[in-house]
Amino acid sequence: MGTDLNLTSSDYSLVLSIFFVGYLLWEVPSNMMLARSTPRIFLPTIMFIWGAMSIGAKGIHNLGGMVAFRFVLGLVEAGFFPGVMLLMSCWYKPAELSKRVAIFYTAALMAGAFGGILAGLIIEGLEGKAGTRGWKWLFIIEGLITVFFAVMAFFVLPNYPATTKWLTEEERELAINRLRVGAGADAEEEHVSHWQAFKDACKDPKTWVFVVTYNLINGAGTISYFFPTLMKTLGYEKRMVQFMTVPIYAVSLIISVTGGVIADKSRQKAFVVLGAALLSTISFVIITAVKNSKVRYAFLCFGGAGIWTAVPVFLSWMVTMFDGREKRAVSIALVNGFGNLASVYGSFLWDKKYAPNYLPGFATTTALCGCIVLVVGFARYMWGDKGVAKTS
């Protein structure tokens, strides 16, 4: 892709980061719409649209086209992840949420693992077929898969507990009442206006502390965009560059789900995030200090695992800290939107001019993980952890 579109290292970073500009712009409006709409229709629809856009990437022939594609893709995808967080928070109690968010988030890790294998096979196996480059076939095939599952999701995804038609009246009441017990408050509160919900979310200091926290986590997580590049510096070539990213995601998957289970069992979500961030901090210090490629690769696995354990446990903690669906929808969108801005600056930390050690990238990532420990500790001290409360 870099060769065909004449991309410099800075151009590639621009292509990565422009996605998050569109993502931020439409994050809050999208979640506001979801809070008042039908999740079974809303979420599969935007998924279908971005899958269809991916298929259309075959027509991109220059940097401008790729930048425009990525920007609009950000607008379309903006509502999906925070929308899923909102929907899950309307079905599960705080002490049930971490492991479920972790399992959901492992879909991203599995995509990273199998996506690496898929990318290696498609790019080499379909190169030049039907006059189309291998990297374009990757967009086409993954877009077709996305469209297929979007259509399937339309038939199986539930709405909110009070609006899911295939529940009986007794099941609907049970789903609502168990949340009242779990949250210690009414699960279906009176609707407020979009503007009032926006003001309430902005005036809550927790929103902005969590924005900073998620920004730090995502800033550290931008290392994943450059795993193939880092594999090359460790001596791997051709398809092995993609294949050697798989163990990183596999280790992360195991540790992430384990962290989610521990967070729910102990009801100490903040401390699990702290432990995960500390694991990453230590791992990246070791990577920066040693020269042995095998040792660096091993701790790259643990460093990534710490980041990707912190993400789902933090999200499951964050969504329980805001009362009211309308306010929660806005707060989740603000945290996710501004938090993902880290990907704009994070994508520039790994410029090729810093090869092969990439010291600025590793040093910044280490500092970000260390700051996560401090900010999460502050938030836990100030507002506690709703998962601690005994629920039945």
| pLDDT one-digit tens code per residue, 22-78 | 888 888 888 888 878 889 999 999 999 999 999 999 999 999 999 999 999 999 999
Helices (H), 189-292: 194-203, 205-221, 227-233, 239-243, 246-266, 269-289
Give the pLDDT score at 352.
78
Give yes or no for a contact between 147 and 153, defined as CB atoms under 8 angstroms apart: no
- Its pTM stands at 0.79
pLDDT at residue 204 greater than cutoff 90: yes
Q: Which CATH superfamily is domain 9-157+189-388 in?
A: MFS general substrate transporter like domains (1.20.1250.20)
**Given a cut of 70, is residue 391 above it in pLDDT?**
no
Q: H/E element holding 318?
A: helix 293-318
pLDDT grade, residue 190 (50/70/90)?
low
pLDDT at residue number 389: 42
Q: What is the pLDDT of residues 289-341, one digit of tens each?
A: 988 889 999 999 999 999 999 999 999 999 888 888 788 888 988 998 888 88
Phi, psi angles (nearest 5°) of residue 166: -80, 0
**Residue 113, both tokens:** 């693992």
The pair of structure tokens assigned to 239 is 């398809």
Q: How far does the chain reach from its first CA to its final CA, in angstroms?
A: 54
User: What is the structure's pLDDT at 344?
Assistant: 74
Residue 242, pLDDT score: 72
**Cβ–Cβ under 8 Å, residues 161 and 293:** no
As a whole number, the mean pLDDT across the chain is 87
Could you tell me the residue ranges of all domains in the chain? 9-157+189-388
**Element of type H or E holding 55:** helix 39-55
Q: What's the confidence (pLDDT) of residue 110?
A: 78
| Alpha-carbon dihedral 338, 43, 96, 333, rounded to 10 degrees | 20
